[in-house]
Amino acid sequence: MMSETPRRAGAFTLRTIPIPAQAPVLDEFTRRRLGRELRALYDPVIDEAIDPRLAELLQQLETDRADSGN
Protein backbone atom coordinates (compact mmCIF):
# COMPACT_ATOMS: atom_id res chain seq x y z
CA MET A 1 0.00 0.00 0.00
CA MET A 2 1.39 3.36 -1.03
CA SER A 3 1.48 6.23 1.40
CA GLU A 4 -0.48 9.29 0.45
CA THR A 5 1.23 12.60 -0.10
CA PRO A 6 -0.16 15.17 2.35
CA ARG A 7 -2.04 18.12 0.86
CA ARG A 8 -2.05 21.70 2.04
CA ALA A 9 -4.53 24.18 0.62
CA GLY A 10 -4.74 22.31 -2.69
CA ALA A 11 -0.97 21.90 -3.10
CA PHE A 12 1.20 18.83 -2.77
CA THR A 13 4.06 18.50 -0.34
CA LEU A 14 6.96 16.93 -2.19
CA ARG A 15 9.23 14.38 -0.62
CA THR A 16 12.85 14.35 -1.67
CA ILE A 17 14.78 11.14 -2.13
CA PRO A 18 18.56 11.35 -2.01
CA ILE A 19 20.33 10.08 -5.11
CA PRO A 20 23.44 8.01 -4.41
CA ALA A 21 26.70 9.37 -5.80
CA GLN A 22 27.33 6.07 -7.60
CA ALA A 23 24.79 4.84 -10.14
CA PRO A 24 23.00 1.59 -9.30
CA VAL A 25 24.57 -1.51 -10.83
CA LEU A 26 22.64 -4.48 -12.18
CA ASP A 27 24.21 -7.90 -11.91
CA GLU A 28 24.63 -10.13 -14.97
CA PHE A 29 21.60 -12.31 -14.15
CA THR A 30 19.33 -9.27 -13.79
CA ARG A 31 20.59 -7.65 -17.01
CA ARG A 32 20.01 -10.85 -18.97
CA ARG A 33 16.54 -11.37 -17.48
CA LEU A 34 15.61 -7.76 -18.20
CA GLY A 35 16.85 -8.13 -21.78
CA ARG A 36 14.76 -11.28 -22.31
CA GLU A 37 11.66 -9.64 -20.89
CA LEU A 38 12.09 -6.51 -22.99
CA ARG A 39 12.61 -8.59 -26.15
CA ALA A 40 9.47 -10.62 -25.36
CA LEU A 41 7.54 -7.39 -24.87
CA TYR A 42 8.78 -5.50 -27.95
CA ASP A 43 9.46 -8.21 -30.57
CA PRO A 44 5.78 -8.48 -31.56
CA VAL A 45 5.55 -4.70 -31.86
CA ILE A 46 8.52 -4.55 -34.22
CA ASP A 47 6.73 -6.87 -36.66
CA GLU A 48 3.55 -4.77 -36.75
CA ALA A 49 2.84 -2.68 -39.82
CA ILE A 50 2.93 1.07 -39.29
CA ASP A 51 0.53 3.64 -40.63
CA PRO A 52 1.58 4.68 -44.16
CA ARG A 53 1.53 8.36 -43.14
CA LEU A 54 3.98 7.64 -40.33
CA ALA A 55 6.19 5.65 -42.71
CA GLU A 56 6.21 8.63 -45.07
CA LEU A 57 7.17 11.02 -42.25
CA LEU A 58 9.97 8.71 -41.13
CA GLN A 59 11.27 8.51 -44.70
CA GLN A 60 11.19 12.31 -44.96
CA LEU A 61 13.08 12.62 -41.66
CA GLU A 62 15.73 10.21 -42.89
CA THR A 63 16.05 12.14 -46.16
CA ASP A 64 16.31 15.48 -44.30
CA ARG A 65 19.02 14.10 -42.01
CA ALA A 66 20.99 12.75 -44.97
CA ASP A 67 20.72 16.11 -46.74
CA SER A 68 21.96 18.01 -43.67
CA GLY A 69 24.96 15.70 -43.26
CA ASN A 70 23.99 14.25 -39.84
The C-alpha torsion from 29 through 30 and 35 to 40, rounded to 10°, is: 100
Q: Dump pLDDT digits (tens) for 9-60.
A: 567 788 888 877 887 788 999 999 999 999 999 999 888 898 999 999 999 9
Rounded distance, CA 33 to CA 39, Å?
10
Q: Evaluate whether residue 15 is within a structural domain.
A: no
Q: Evaluate whether residue 1 is within a structural domain.
A: no
pLDDT at 42: 92
pLDDT at 1: 45
Q: Evaluate whether residue 3 is within a structural domain.
A: no
Q: Evaluate whether residue 44 is within a structural domain.
A: yes
> Model-level pTM?
0.41
Q: Name the residue range of residue 61's domain.
A: 26-70
